[in-house]
Structure 1
Amino acid sequence: MDDRVQQSQLSFPPDMVIPPQRYSGEANHAEEAARVFRRCWMFVGFTDDLRNDNDFITADIAGTSVLVQNFDGDLRAYHNVCTHRYSLIHLRPCGNGKPVCPYHGWVFNRDGVPVGIPGNREHFGLDDAAKKRLALRRFEVAVRGRFVFVRLEPAGPGLDEQLGAYGAVLDHLSELFTDRIDEGVLPWSANWKAALESALEVYHVDATHPETFKGYVKKVWICSYEGEHSRGVSQLSDGSARWWDGVSQKMGLPRSDRLESYDHYLIFPNLAIGVSHGALMSVQTYDPVGPDRCELHYRLFLGETSKPQTKGGAARKAVEANVAGFNRTILGEDQRVAEATHKGLKQVQVPAVLGSCEERIAAFHRAWLARMAAE
C-alpha cells in the first residue's frame, strides 16, 4: 500500500503524458509536421559545410526537403524542389554547386528564380515576370555559433528567443568543438518521439546498456529547464574521467571549463547534444520520415588539438575509432529498445507511467502537447 501511495506521488498524471495513439498514424504525423516541425526553428547542419560560395547543405524537415546555399557569403534557404517538374534540386547532403535541377537543367539564382531555362524561347516563352512566379519557396534561416537553423513558417519568435539561455551554450560549443571525427545516418523503425525519449533519462541504462554506458556514467541525473528545452547532467564514472583526462593530455585536446561531467541538452523538438568531460561533443537529430520511421543523424566532434603532430597518427586514429565505435554501439542498443517500444505503443491505449526519474521525458511531453494544442 505504501509503495502504491509513493508511486502516485512521484509519477506524472496521465493527462501530462503523450497518448500512445499519437506515436503512429498518418493523420498524427501530418498534424505534428504542421504544428511542431513547420513552426519551430529546426537544426539542419553546420556552417562548416557552408564556408564557400555555392556550398550547400540539404535536410528533410518532416517531409519538406530544404536546401541552404551560400550565395557569395549570404546564406539562403529554399524548398529543394524544382518548380518545373518537381525533381529535387540538390541530391547530396552537402557539396558545392549552383542550384541546378538534375532533371532538365533549370538554374536558379540567389532569389530562387529560374534564370537559366534550356529552350525557354522555343518551348516555354517565359518572360521575367513569369520566371519570378516560378521562384522557389523561400524559408527563414538563422545561425547561432556554427549551428544552422531553418524555419518553414515565418510567424513566431526569432531563433535567439526560441533558444533562450541555450543560445550561449551553442556559442560555447561552436568555439570549442571544431574537429568532426564521425558522422552517419541510421534508419530506425520507430516514431521519432519513441527514439528521442531513450536519450532523456538514465533509468534505462542498467537494462539497455549493461556492458557500455552503464560503466561510463554514474546513475545520477540532475535536470534543469529552459523553456521547451532541457538539460540532464550525470557524473562520469571514475574510470571514464581518468580515460578522458589521459586522452586530452596526450592528444592535446582542449576541454570545456563549463561542462565537466556528462552534460546532455535537448533543443526542442529533436536536437540532442551530449558533451563528455568537456572533451567530446555528440550532436544527434531524430528526424521523422513517417509515422513509424525516423532517421537518427549523428555527428561527433573533438576540439582542435594543440599538438597537430598527433593528427593522423596511430594513437589519434585509435582514439577516434574507439569513440566512434562506442557511440555506434550505444545507438544500436537504443535502437533495439526504441523499435520494441514503438511496436508496443501500437498495441495499447493507456498513457505510459512516467516516474520522477523520467522528468525530462515529462517536460518534453508537456512541450509537445502545448505545441499540438496551439492554434
Structure 2
Amino acid sequence: MIPISNYLDPACLLKEMPSLFQKGWQFVSMTDELANDQDFVTLDLPGTAVVVQNFAGALRAFRNVCPHRLNLVQTEERGNRPLICRYHGWAFDSGGRPKTLPPRQEFPSGGDDERLCLQRFHVEICGRFVFVSMEESPPSLTEFLGEFALVLDQLSRVIGPLTNQGTIAHACNWKLLVENVLECYHCGFVHPETFVKGLGIGKKAIADVRIALGHSSSHFPKSPTARDALKARAVAHLIDREYVHESFFHVHIFPNLFISSSEGAAFYVGHAVPISAGETNLRTRFFAPKIDLDDRAQARQDLINRQAVTLGKQVIGEDKTILENVQRGMGAANRLPVLGADEIRIKAFASAYEAAMNG
C-alpha cells in the first residue's frame, strides 16, 4: 500500500514528478483539440509546463517557457494562436527555434544557439488520445500502453463529438481521485440516485478485470432499474450504435488518465492533474457516441447529451465531497487503509506506483 505520507507531504509530490510524470507518457489532450493549424493545449505540472502546438498539421511538444526571460509562452489551457511569447515577441517555429527576434538586442550565434530554443519533448498519438513524454529516449507510446493501445484505439473509433469540457478543482491529492474511480464499492453509498437508481450500476461486483503495465480496466455490470423502459424509448435512436455493452466500462491509464463508457451511449475522459500535495485539477471531457442521426434524432440526442453532462458533473461533485474529507482523514490517520476484493485495481495501482517511485 502507498504510505499515507505520500498523500500529504509536498516533498513526495516533487519526487513523483520525475518518477511518474516525466517518465513514460503523460496524456495531454484529444486530437480534436489540436485539429487546426496553430491550435495548442497546455499542461502545467509542478516544476514542468508543457505546450503541444499544431504546425500546419504536425504536432510538436515543448517546455512552455521562453528561453529569453522565462515567461510562459502560451498562457491559456487551450486556444489558437502562433507560438509567440507575449513578453518580448519571440516567435518559434516547429523545431522550437526562434524565427523572429525583435531588434535592439544581440544574442549569441543568432537564432541557432540551443540556449535560445524551446526545449522539445516527444509527442505521440494513440487513436484520438495525445500523449507527451519528457524523457530523452522514451519507449514508444505503443510499448508504454501495451495491450491498452488497442483499447484506446477501439474507443477512439466509437467516441463521438465532444459535448462538454472543463476543470474542477479538488482539495485532495491526485492519487485519491485515481483510486476512487477504480472501484464501485462506494457507489451504493455515495451515488445511490445517480449511479445505482439512474444507471443501474453499483449492485454487482466488479467484472472482467484486466491489469497490465500499471494500466487496468474493468466492467461494472448493470442491474435492472425501474427506469429501463423509459430509458430504452429515449435512446431508441441509438439502437444501431457500434459499441454496446450492458455495463459501465472503465479504463485507467497509469498514472492519472481514466476513460469510461456508459453502455456505449455516453463517454467520459477524466485527467487528474496534480497542483500540490493537497490540490488537484480534474480536467473533464464528455462525449456523445459516434453515430449518424437525422435532425429529429439529433435533437433528441442533444437533450440526452445535456442530461449526461449534468449527471456526470453531479457524480463528480458527490465524489469530490468524499475525497476532500478523505484527504482530511488521512491527516489524522495512524495506519494504512484496508482493501477488499472489489478494490483489486487499487492494489494494482499501488503496486505500479511503488515500482515507479522505487525504480
The letter for the 1-side match of 2:210 is S
| Residue 152 of structure 2: aligned partner | 170
Partners in 2 of 1:103 and 1:66 — Cα distance?
18
| Alpha-carbon offset, residue 154 of structure 1 | 2.7
| Residue 322 of structure 2: aligned partner | 337
Partners in 2 of 1:27 and 1:167 — Cα distance?
33
* Secondary structure at 1:198 match in 2: helix
User: 216-225 or 285-294, which moves further after superposition?
Assistant: 216-225
Contact 2:24 2:139 in 1 (8 A): no
The letter for the 1-side match of 2:241 is P
Change (3 A) 1:103 1:129: closer
Structure 1 alignment gaps of length 5 or more: 1-16
Map of 1:86-101 to 2, 5 A cutoff? 86-101=70-85
* Secondary structure at 1:202 match in 2: coil
| Residue 139 of structure 1: aligned partner | 121
The letter for the 2-side match of 1:277 is E
The answer to whether the aligner puts 1:109 opposite 2:96 as a matched pair is no
Q: 1:362 aligned to 325, 347, 350, which one? A: 347
Q: 1:280 aligned to 257, 266, 269, which one? A: 266
Partners in 1 of 2:124 and 2:100 — Cα distance?
28
| Residue 250 of structure 2: aligned partner | 264
Change (3 A) 1:253 1:320: farther
The number of residue pairs the alignment matches comes to: 354
The answer to whether the aligner puts 1:183 opposite 2:165 as a matched pair is yes
Change (3 A) 1:302 1:129: closer
* Secondary structure at 1:104 match in 2: coil
| Residue 313 of structure 2: aligned partner | 328
Change (3 A) 1:280 1:125: same
| Alpha-carbon offset, residue 181 of structure 1 | 0.8
Map of 1:219-258 to 2, 5 A cutoff? 219-222=204-207, 223-239=209-225, 245-250=232-237, 254-257=241-244
| Residue 23 of structure 1: aligned partner | 7
The TM-score normalised by the length of structure 1 is 0.89
The answer to whether the aligner puts 1:34 opposite 2:21 as a matched pair is no
Change (3 A) 1:126 1:169: same
User: 35-44 or 225-234, which moves further after superposition?
Assistant: 225-234
Q: 1:123 aligned to 83, 91, 105, which one? A: 105
Map of 1:23-102 to 2, 5 A cutoff? 23-102=7-86
Contact 1:140 1:152 in 2 (8 A): yes
Change (3 A) 1:290 1:253: farther
Partners in 2 of 1:255 and 1:356 — Cα distance?
32
* Secondary structure at 1:123 match in 2: coil
| Residue 305 of structure 1: aligned partner | 291
Partners in 2 of 1:146 and 1:25 — Cα distance?
35
| Alpha-carbon offset, residue 173 of structure 1 | 1.2
| Alpha-carbon offset, residue 80 of structure 1 | 0.8
Partners in 2 of 1:221 and 1:91 — Cα distance?
41
| Residue 153 of structure 1: aligned partner | 135
* Secondary structure at 1:128 match in 2: coil
Q: How much is the aligned-residue C-alpha RMSD, in angstroms?
A: 1.9
| Alpha-carbon offset, residue 170 of structure 1 | 0.9
Contact 1:78 1:138 in 2 (8 A): yes
For 1:175-207, what per-residue CA distance to the aligned partner results, in whole angstroms no more than 9, with x for missing partners?
111211111100000000012211111111122
Partners in 1 of 2:191 and 2:289 — Cα distance?
27
